[in-house]
Amino acid sequence: MKDLLSVFLLAMLLLPVSPAVADESGKRPNIVFIFCDDLTCQSVSAYGESRHLLETPNIDRLAEQGMLFSRCLVTNSICGPSRASILTGKYSHKNGFYNNSNSRFDSSQQTFPRMLQAAGYQTAMIGKWHLVTDPVGFDFWHILPGQGLYYNPPMIRMGERVNMEGYTTDLIGDLSIEWLKSRDRTKPFLLMSQHKAPHREWSPALRHLGWDNDRVYPEPATLFDQYEGRSLAISDHDMGIERTFTDRDAKLVHPPSLTPQQLAEWNRYYEPRNQKYRESDLQGKDLVRWRYNRYMHDYLACVKAVDENVGRLMSALEEEGVADNTIVVFTSDQGFFLGEHGWFDKRWIFEESLRSPLVVRWPGTVEAGSECSRIVSLIDFAETFLDAAGLPIPDDMQGRSMLPILRGQTPDDWRTSLYYHYYEFPVPHRVRPHKGVITDRYKLVHYYKPDVDDWELLDRQADPLEVRNFYSDPNYSDVVRELHAELKRLQVEVDEVEDPPRSAYGNRAFAGEADPPSPQKKKAAPKR
């Protein structure tokens, strides 16, 4: 096997550059991958969502100069699994990274950075890695351990632990720009600049405290969703602003890593407002509204810092004279709830969680100001980068190159549905494992563990808020039948027809079970 791998890598090194992916000088394109954690489309002004929450001028500029994707969907809405899927072009059950609880990334497997590196690209990974094992396939890496801290974070530089001082989003921007300016200019490059923000607990840069002047934010229509007529899987969660918000989420306690000077600045903003909150003794909906507005101030402030650092990195590309031959991809590991259904976090197949922002800028290839509404996915990124670099796409990758779409030539056989599977349960947040099929209009969902066996049909056209279950509606019987068939077809296509191993659900999954249920083999009719 080692000999075969050596021959394969040598063959890639000797491959000629395809004229279709080179600029006029014959150079292969550079790739800058700007990646956020838990960034949702609702917080990016280029998406023009119904609630106007924030201006993101630098991200918007990328969209003005490139292509904005409105249906970039994830296959397992949780951080680590999404990262593994991006690297490998494979679903969780193929790359082995199912959850954030007990999964470890198998760094011996094929990834697109390893393939680019073998083909002569210099590669760098900076920021949040979150895959437990060390990065492989990178000439340089400087990462946050685990989830990382927002202030003065310890980091790991090429295996050596170092202590940093400053705000993590800015530090990742600094390190990315430093690497860009010190790189070997004779080679094309891949730079993965990956932010912690705006992950929980959404701690703002100190310069952004009070940025919104105590604005009262427009509420999502489903902030007080009662989950009527829905599965127990929907109502029995632990990720609500009403029931799950901690004192640290609410900034009623400060982060542990602040310096005395930083803490003083933190307290100057938060403590007067916290004291007013304590004196008010809020209850019920008033308490939810207070938490929601505190959440919006903090989360959106984190996004502001990301946007600023997008602008800084783009300016560095211009200064280096490489902006025109660089593919810039801006995206996130999944979406996030900003109060919809009363939730924060992700995990669900629902739209706010399922959909990731995606903008691609590539002058001369991608038409400025263009948009794509077709279903693309994080599992398409590896194939796209390899294709753009003129490299062959391995047959075992499960996505598809988006290069034709980026050129404005969407293939006639482009996907019209996508398979989804979320596993991690019960901690954190008690979101039941579920799988489903997604089309432009519908979602057929099966909640199947440990105490449910429920099906739901969501119709985004009739019910864009996704608060109704149409599964038992006789008017949808044909749709239900067709989607059941499509779900089975997709399970065969992605090769997940067997039950996943128990470990897929996490360390504390289904305590006391002798054997995990086998939902595919159950004979009983689904609950309606």
Q: State how far the Cα of 8 lies from the Cα of 57, in Å rounded to an integer.
A: 44
Inform me whether the pLDDT recorded for 515 exceeds 50.
Answer: no
Q: What is the rounded average pLDDT for all residues in the chain?
A: 93
Give mean pLDDT, residues 393-397: 98
With a pLDDT cut of 70, the percent of the chain lying above it is 92
Cα 388 to Cα 112: distance, rounded to the nearest angstrom: 12
- DSSP element (H, E) containing 287: helix 284-319
Domains with residue ranges and CATH for the chain: 419-521 (3.30.1120.10)
The answer on pLDDT for 522 being more than 80 is: no
Average pLDDT over residues 484-493: 98
Contact 95, 88 (CB under 8 A): yes
Amino acid identity at 284: G
Task: Report, as an integer, the average pLDDT of 322-334.
Answer: 98
Question: Residue range 130-140: average pLDDT?
Answer: 98
Nearest to 360 by CA among 68, 91, 128, 84: 68
- Residue 526, pLDDT above cutoff 60: no
pLDDT at position 142: 98
Displacement of CA 144 from its chain's centroid (Å): 17
Is the confidence at residue 60, as pLDDT, over 60? yes
For residue 508, the model assigns a pLDDT of: 84
366 pLDDT higher than 80:
yes
pLDDT digits over 444-478, tens only? 999 999 999 999 999 999 999 999 999 999 999 99
**Is the confidence at residue 80, as pLDDT, over 60?**
yes
Q: How far apart are CA 394 and CA 383, in angstroms?
A: 8
- Mean pLDDT (whole number) for 295-301: 98
Number of other residues whose CB lies within 10 A of the CB of residue 120: 15
pLDDT at 16 over 60: no
Count the helices and strands in the chain (H runs, E runs): 13, 15
Query: What is the percent of the chain where pLDDT is above 90?
Result: 90
pLDDT tens, position by position, 149-207:
999 999 999 999 999 999 999 999 999 999 999 999 999 999 999 999 999 999 999 99
Residues 254 and 339: their CA atoms lie apart, in Å, by 23
- pLDDT category of residue 6 using cuts at 50, 70 and 90: very low
Residue 317 has pLDDT above 80, yes or no: yes
pLDDT in tens, 411-441: 999 999 999 999 999 999 999 999 999 999 9
What per-residue confidence (pLDDT) applies to 19? 36
The string of DSSP codes covering 366-405 is SPTTEEE-S-EEGGGHHHHHHHHTTPPPPTT--S---HHH
From residue 371, how far is each of 112, 334, 406, 408, 410 by CA, in Å?
A: 26, 19, 10, 9, 12
Residue 163 and residue 459: Cα distance in Å, rounded? 49
Answer yes or no: are the C-beta atoms of 251 and 270 closer than 8 Å.
yes
The predicted pLDDT at position 511 comes to 59
Ranges of H-type helices in 415-517: 477-493
Residue 307 three-state SS: helix
Reported confidence tier of residue 50, pLDDT bands at 50, 70, 90: confident
Would you say residue 23 has pLDDT above 70? no
pLDDT tier at 26 (50, 70, 90 boundaries)?
low
Q: Do residues 154 and 167 make contact, with C-beta atoms less than 8 angstroms apart?
A: no
Which has the higher per-residue pLDDT, 9 or 178? 178
Q: Give me the pLDDT at residue 519, please.
A: 34
pLDDT band at 17 (very low <50, low <70, confident <90, very high): very low
Whether residue 7 has pLDDT greater than 50: no
Average pLDDT over residues 84-104: 98
Q: What is the pLDDT of residues 218-268, one digit of tens each?
A: 999 999 999 999 999 999 999 999 999 999 999 999 999 999 999 999 999
Assign 3-class secondary structure to 154-168.
Answer: EEEECCEEEECCCEH
Model confidence at 8, pLDDT cuts 50, 70, 90, reads very low
**The pLDDT of residue 21:** 52
> Has residue 22 got a pLDDT over 60?
no
Question: pLDDT class for 442, splitting at 50, 70, 90?
Answer: very high
The mean per-residue pLDDT over the stretch 17-37 comes to 72
pLDDT confidence of 509, banded at 50, 70, 90?
confident
